[in-house]
Amino acid sequence: MADDETRQAFQVQYVGENPDDHTMDVEELGPALIAFGKMIRAANDELNQDKARVRVLVASDFEHRCFHINFEVVQILKDITDFLQSNHVELAELLKRLGIIVTGTAGIVGSVFGYLKWKRGRKIDKVAEIKDSPGTLVLKIEDDNNTIQISKDVFQLAQNREVLDAVEEALAPLQNGRGKTIKFGTDEVRMVEYRQRDVEDIIASCEDGGPILVAEEEPQKTRTVTGTLWSYGPVFDTKAQNWRFLYRNKPIYADVRGTSIARDAIARGGSFLNDRYRVRMEVTPPTTRDGTAHYKIIEVLEFTQAEQQIAMELKKPRGKRRGGSAQR
């Protein structure tokens, strides 16, 4: 296997009413197999764009008491350096988010299949990002106080029309009454099972899966405050737009262009450590989680110059006496 290629196997089982019947109508099987390929490719395109492509391979196993299909997905990276340095989803994670590979920590809506089953065709009234949990959304059902948290990637895939169409096609063999259960997983131990009732809920959600806009958090507004600033270092440049101060015992940079602070300081010979300013200023919250607020001084209410050391002429040390004691 090449360095830029990864593989992941998974299994799908279509279980009919008669467990001893290992046959499946070719007109049902063909579209279902193609649907898995469409689903995985659409998910890869949605999350990885043009950074990687996938191929879906299949081999059937008739030894199980069902129609059992072994898939192998191959993900080929177009540029491994670019792929690793950018936001990307590796193959195993991609299949987990679809719900084809099952993990014990995924949660009830940790995958597209799980989310569509939970949704049951109901309308989503509101979608919002959780401020303290990047990459997580909270969803609210219309006319219901029922809310749930979901990965942003899973929700994004569940809004993709190609993914939803492929999900419907993959479940088609269970819609006509011939099958009763479909299972996904990597082995017999770790398989997730969807029965006919679950399939009905998933299909209903696919049919109602139109795009939903994620509500952006209302940005915090700029506010005007009155505060005390202490000069944090000497400044001798009148062209400096932002000066450094201590505000509430923390260093900040404040825009002084709308005031005479710089001009007055230069007239005094400079701005020195611990010069005190009582000001009115605008405080704008940061636009990113790890950003810093923006401070702009709009009026100086009071100024107190820091105490300066008084220049004093030092006394010269007294010289030593020459010679010994005076003779009597």
Tell me if 129 sits within 8 A of 217, measured CB to CB: yes
Same structural domain, 134 and 32: yes
What predicted TM-score, i.e. pTM, was given to this entire model? 0.58
Tell me if 76 sits within 8 A of 68, measured CB to CB: no
Does residue 310 form part of some domain?
no
In this structure, the chain runs to a length of 328
Nearest to 231 by CA among 207, 188, 198, 264: 264
Whole-number pLDDT of residue 135: 80
- Which residue type occupies 68? H
Does residue 162 form part of some domain?
yes
> With bands split at pLDDT 50, 70 and 90, how would you rate the model's confidence at 297?
very high
Of the residues 159, 180, 207, which one is the last residue of a structural domain?
207
Same structural domain, 174 and 144: yes
Across the range 62-87, mean pLDDT stands at 58
Whole-number pLDDT of residue 287: 64
Nearest to 146 by CA among 116, 118, 106, 117: 118
Does residue 292 form part of some domain?
yes
Lookup result for tokens 């609210």? 140
Residues 6+ apart with CB under 8 A from 219: 285, 287
Does residue 22 form part of some domain?
yes
Across the range 234-249, mean pLDDT stands at 78
Nearest to 116 by CA among 209, 14, 31, 42: 209
Same structural domain, 202 and 230: no
Same structural domain, 125 and 248: no
Whole-number pLDDT of residue 180: 80
Tally of domains in the chain: 2
- Which residue type occupies 214? V
In this predicted structure, which of 48-52, 173-177, 271-275, 306-310 has the lowest mean pLDDT?
A: 306-310
Same structural domain, 43 and 121: yes
For residue 282, the enclosing domain spans 223-304
Whole-number pLDDT of residue 84: 41
Does residue 166 form part of some domain?
yes
Of the residues 181, 207, 233, which one is the last residue of a structural domain?
207
d(CA 32, CA 16): 15
Whole-number pLDDT of residue 288: 57
Q: What totals of helices (H) and strands (E) does the chain contain, helices first? A: 8, 13
Whole-number pLDDT of residue 85: 44
Nearest to 274 by CA among 318, 249, 307: 307
Q: Is the pLDDT of residue 295 over 90?
A: yes
Query: CATH code at 276?
Result: 2.40.50
Does residue 84 form part of some domain?
yes
More confident: 14 or 234: 14
Same structural domain, 241 and 199: no
> With bands split at pLDDT 50, 70 and 90, how would you rate the model's confidence at 64?
low
d(CA 172, CA 179): 9
d(CA 161, CA 199): 18
Whole-number pLDDT of residue 66: 63
Q: What is the mean pLDDT of the chain?
A: 76
Which three-class secondary structure state does DSSP give residue 202? helix
Alpha carbon 187 to chain centroid, angstroms: 31
Whole-number pLDDT of residue 63: 53
Same structural domain, 21 and 118: yes
Whole-number pLDDT of residue 280: 92
Dmax over Cα atoms in the chain, in whole Å? 139
10 class by beta-carbon count within 10 Å (0-12 exposed, 13-18 middle, 19+ buried): buried
> With bands split at pLDDT 50, 70 and 90, how would you rate the model's confidence at 300?
very high
d(CA 213, CA 136): 15
Tell me if 196 sits within 8 A of 240, measured CB to CB: no
Quick: pLDDT tens for 188-212: 557 888 888 898 899 888 876 555 6
Whole-number pLDDT of residue 172: 84
Does residue 281 form part of some domain?
yes
Same structural domain, 66 and 202: yes
Residues 6+ apart with CB under 8 A from 13: 64, 66, 67, 68, 69, 181, 182, 183, 191
Does residue 12 form part of some domain?
yes
Lookup result for tokens 């009919």? 16
Handedness of CA 144, 145, 146, 147 (dihedral sign): positive
Same structural domain, 200 and 249: no
Same structural domain, 108 and 158: yes
Helix (H) or strand (E) holding 6: strand 5-16
Nearest to 78 by CA among 42, 54, 46, 97: 54
More confident: 101 or 214: 101
Same structural domain, 144 and 263: no
Q: Is the pLDDT of residue 237 over 70?
A: no
Q: Is the pLDDT of residue 298 over 50?
A: yes
Quick: pLDDT tens for 15-57: 877 767 667 777 787 888 888 888 988 888 888 777 788 888 8
Of the residues 180, 207, 234, which one is the last residue of a structural domain?
207
d(CA 37, CA 73): 9
Quick: pLDDT tens for 87-131: 567 778 888 888 888 765 444 568 899 999 988 888 888 888 887
Same structural domain, 62 and 116: yes
